[in-house]
Amino acid sequence: MTIIVAAVVVIPALVASLIYLAIQVREARAQEARASWTASPWGQVQSLSAQAEDLWKTVFQKTYQQTGGNFGAACRSADAASQPYFKAAHAAEELARKASSSSAVRKDTEGRLKG
């Protein structure tokens, strides 16, 4: 009888701890994948583009309010403020493309040398 009671208590606790461990492993892998993507060339492009767009929106909204709704002035101000950031994002995109194409060429060359 004591064995059955112990089994009823121990088995669910063991199952619960295994489920908890599996959830922790999955969360760690997801976090690692996000960190890897953010550090990748394309992750950098996405991050820089998002920063440029956020800056453009913020400057546009502030200028639009300050000028009493002057749409043209708000656009020009936002463009001028965010231009360096968009250029940096474009340069990062070019580097990411070059890195992708050179790695594709490298893989193709390695495949030809092997086969």
Residue 39 above 90 pLDDT? no
Residues 30, 47 within the same domain: no
At 74-93, the pLDDT tens digits run 999 999 999 999 999 999 99
Tokens coding 82: 């965010």
Q: How far is CA 11 from CA 2, 8, 19, 104, in A?
A: 14, 6, 12, 51
At 95-109, the pLDDT tens digits run 988 888 876 555 555
Residues 65, 112 within the same domain: yes
Residues 80, 110 within the same domain: yes
Please report which confidence band the pLDDT of residue 1 belongs to, taking 50, 70 and 90 as the band edges. confident
Question: Where is pLDDT greater, at 79 or 11?
Answer: 79
pTM over 0.75: no
What φ, ψ does residue 68 adopt, rounded to 5°? 75, 30
Residues 86, 32 within the same domain: no
At 55-68, the pLDDT tens digits run 999 999 999 999 99
Total of domains in the chain: 2
DSSP secondary structure, 10-69, as one string: HHHHHHHHHHHHHHHHHHHHHHHHHHHHHHSHHHHHHHHHHHHHHHHHHHHHHHHHHTTS
Residues 33, 44 within the same domain: no
- Residues of the domain holding 80: 40-115
pLDDT of residue 70: 95
Residues 20, 61 within the same domain: no
